[in-house]
Amino acid sequence: EDKVVQSPLSLVVHEGDTVTLNCSYEVTNFRSLLWYKQEKKAPTFLFMLTSSGIEKKSGRLSSILDKKELSSILNITATQTGDSAIYLCAMIKTSYDKVIFGPGTSLSVIP
Amino acid sequence: DTEVTQTPKHLVMGMTNKKSLKCEQHMGHRAMYWYKQKAKKPPELMFVYSYEKLSINESVPSRFSPECPNSSLLNLHLHALQPEDSALYLCASSQVDRSYEQYFGPGTRLTVT
């Protein structure tokens, strides 16, 4: 059965800290791994990773995929209170365009 | 305009009621999605429409009936729901060949009494 696992499930850090969120997956016909940020309600798209070892970067956020280890990390440097959210890892398969979400990591950044 | 709108924001309905959730986008996206999200859980895909045709139904009970009347609108008709159907219902849209980059609406918080 296809599965996406995230760790930790929740995390509390202080502003300015650097955090690393982990995602691992088991899936047949893997196409891409996705990261979304969910604040209050609607998830917003962060990154899509398809190739191993190529870092995607957006401001203080960066992510990389390791297809050998079937995993990905999302790094956030110099965290701010506005980074507080649930970070969802997801995958998309080649067979059809279904996004399968992991359980999410709830990040709280305190001043 | 990169917004997906959903109405209503909140809905309380009895188990014998019939109601509809509405979703609208004007980004020219031809793929639209319904997700169900329970508290502290990730979104779960319910339906996918591609070019206004239903392409994926994730074995959703027939008391949920989707409809895509045109390329900008997506409805979810609800009938004879159960209390366990109470959840946040999220609509999303994307370009058909960029299904990884979905734009989500704010959701409708549904409570079934």
Instruction: Provide the residue type at A5 as one letter.
Output: V
pLDDT grade, residue A96 (50/70/90)?
A: low
Interface contact B48-A42, CB threshold 8 A? no
Average pLDDT score, chain B:
93
What six digits make up the tokens of B35?
């997700």
Residue A10 pLDDT exceeds 70 = yes
Alpha helices in chain A (DSSP H): none
CA distance A7 to A74: 11
B23 has pLDDT over 80? yes
Question: Average of pLDDT values for B66-93?
Answer: 96
CB contact under 8 A, B102 and A48: no
B102 neighbourhood in chain A, CB within 8 Å:
43, 45, 99
Check: CB of residue A95 under 8 Å from CB of residue A29: yes
pLDDT value at A95 more than 60 = no
Locate A74 and state its tokens.
């999302």
In the prediction, which pLDDT does B2 show?
Answer: 65
> Average pLDDT, whole number, for chain A?
92
Q: B104, A42: Cβ pair inside 8 Å?
A: yes
Q: Do B56 and A96 touch (CB under 8 A)?
A: yes
Mean pLDDT of B88-108: 92
pLDDT reported for residue A8: 97
Find the mean pLDDT for residues B37-63.
92
A72 pLDDT tier (thresholds 50, 70, 90): very high
Q: What is the pLDDT confidence band of residue A97, given thresholds at 50, 70 and 90?
A: low
Contacts of residues B62-68 at CB distance under 8 Å and 24 or more positions apart, as own/partner, are B66/B34, B68/B32
Q: Under DSSP, is residue B85 helix (H, G, I), strand (E, B) or coil? A: helix
Give yes or no for residue A41 having a pLDDT over 60: yes
Q: How far apart are CA B67 and CA B47, in angstroms?
A: 10
Kindly tell me the number of DSSP H helices and DSSP E strands found in chain A. 0, 11
Which chain A residue has the Cα nearest residue B9?
Answer: A41
Mutate to test the interface with B, among A86, A99, A106 (most CBs of B within 10 A): A99
Lowest mean pLDDT among A17-26, A93-102, B35-44: A93-102
Segment B29-54 shows an average pLDDT of: 94
